[in-house]
Amino acid sequence: MRNAPTILHLDMDAFYASVEQAAKPSLRGKAVVVGGLGPRGVVATASYEARVFGVHSAMPTAQARRLAPNAAYLVPRFSVYRSISEQVMALLGELSPLVEPLSLDEAFVDLEAAGAAWDEESARRTGVKLRADIRAVTGLTGSVGLAASKMLAKIASEEAKPDGLMLIEPGSERTLLGPMPVRTLPGVGPATGDHLRRAGITTVEELAEAGEDELVRLLGNAHGHALYAMALARDDRPVVSDRETKSVSVEDTYDVDIHDRLRVGMEVRRLAERCVRRLREARLSGRTIVLKVRRYDFSTLTRSETLRGPTDDPAVVREAAARLLESVDTTGGVRLLGVGVTGLADYTQEDLFAQAAGEGGAEPAEEVVAEPSAAEPESPAERHWRAGQDVRHAEHGQGWVQGSGVGRVTVRFETPYSGPGRVRTFPADDPSLEPTEPLPLVPAPLAPSPAPLSDTGRHRTPPRTPSDLSGEPATEVSSRAP
């Protein structure tokens, strides 16, 4: 443990939903749910307005619609989220060379590494400026936790949500953690929480009082020791800048089970090509091809094949995935398919076109968890529009799809920089309506005009910094234990 709160944890607030609200003025302050919209869709993110109704991440979209029927339901736009994430991570990189991204919207930063902070006061200043800079660059808000360890910094950012900052003073950790529920600690999920509750342990203080031996008896050796250390606020894990990518994968869930074996094969080939595109975008290659199949009865199978060397050749990945499919019975129907690549490297081996099928032996592999993704866009002839999609009309300009069906599409014409726009409906095959690239949430700054010069030749007005453009400051949460 450090003697100063110089580990920072940033967590963007309801990231996907906040991006959509910033991009669509008519949705600001409204309930927004981002995720899969089909019968088997799952919520990726819900805005804070939607959370009031009980909607949360990983909830089936059908259940969310019952809880919040008047919310706006949109498909994810991952290219937009990644672009904004890169802007945020670049700001973190200016603070320290030690930035540990956990996801698109979350990261740890070691503020000591480059002297960005060395004590409580400097850490607080850095956190305040970071939040202001994020707002200026992206138009979004993030919550910041500052503490002497990663575990406590993450807890602090969660307590600061939404749009706040919390600093945990060294020496106050035990007092602060004590009354918190055991689920606050990382690694304590619903099952572990229920097991501890049945043993009469509901708070972190009770966890510490139970003692290490009792926790080992209840939870096993590794988990018991780790949980006891966390209850005492012990966490010496360093911030690691290079988190190794474990896998690259894609998957699709189908509204209707696929029974036709030929169609299943076509879907696997399509997924393999998408996976390779993502692999190449990341400038990676991989040795192990993984096929994931979820059948009609929700049973999930994974099969893998390890090649002689790493590849990013779409033909090799397609053929390997097809061989893996041969070992899976899909007679009853398939509801989800996924293709992934593991054993990643930053180089390729070009002579893999003749990989032997028996090299890897199709053994079950660890399930590959893919990032949720919107469906692949259909060809222009099919004119299928998705809720939330960016479009442009030859007469009315930039807008987004509110909904479509029975041969028609409804579009709201507005941009991140306008007020709420008008809604119009068109035939789904209207040639004047086309998909388009999204606009940035914050317009590019204009070239600054020269400030009037004084008699001495100096500018009267100092240049404005990102912090000056942040608008009203958000609430800062006190770190002191009650």
Token match 């709160």: residue? 5
Contact present, 395 and 389 (Cβ < 8 Å):
no
DSSP assignments along 145-185, one per residue: EEESSHHHHHHHHHHH-SS-EEE--TT-HHHHHTTSBGGGS
Tokens (6 digits) for 396: 């009315």
Contacts for 104-108 with beta carbons within 8 Å, 24 or more apart?
104/15, 105/11, 105/12, 105/15, 105/81, 105/142, 106/9, 106/10, 106/11, 106/12, 107/9, 107/10, 108/7, 108/8, 108/9, 108/150, 108/153, 108/154, 108/239
Contact present, 249 and 189 (Cβ < 8 Å):
no
In 3D space, the residue among 208, 219, 201, 167 whose CA is nearest the CA of residue 478 turns out to be 167
Neighbours of 306 (CB within 10 A): 19
Tokens (6 digits) for 436: 């388009």
- Catalytic-role residue among 106, 251, 319, 414: 106
Q: How far is CA 462 from CA 378, 451, 453, 466, 473, in A?
A: 51, 9, 12, 13, 21
Going by DSSP bridges, is the β-strand pair 334-345/408-413 parallel, antiparallel, or unpaired? unpaired
Q: How far apart are CA 390 and CA 80, in angstroms?
A: 11
Quick check: is 376 catalytic?
Answer: no
**Gyration radius of the chain over CA positions:** 25
DSSP assignments along 251-276, one per residue: EEEEEEEE--HHHHHHHHHHHHHHHH
In 3D space, the residue among 265, 270, 331 whose CA is nearest the CA of residue 299 turns out to be 331
Q: How far apart are CA 312 and CA 435, in angstroms?
A: 29
Neighbours of 278 (CB within 10 A): 17
Q: CB under 8 Å to 321, separation ≥6 — which residues?
A: 268, 269, 271, 272, 289, 291, 339
Question: What is the set of active-site residues?
Answer: 106
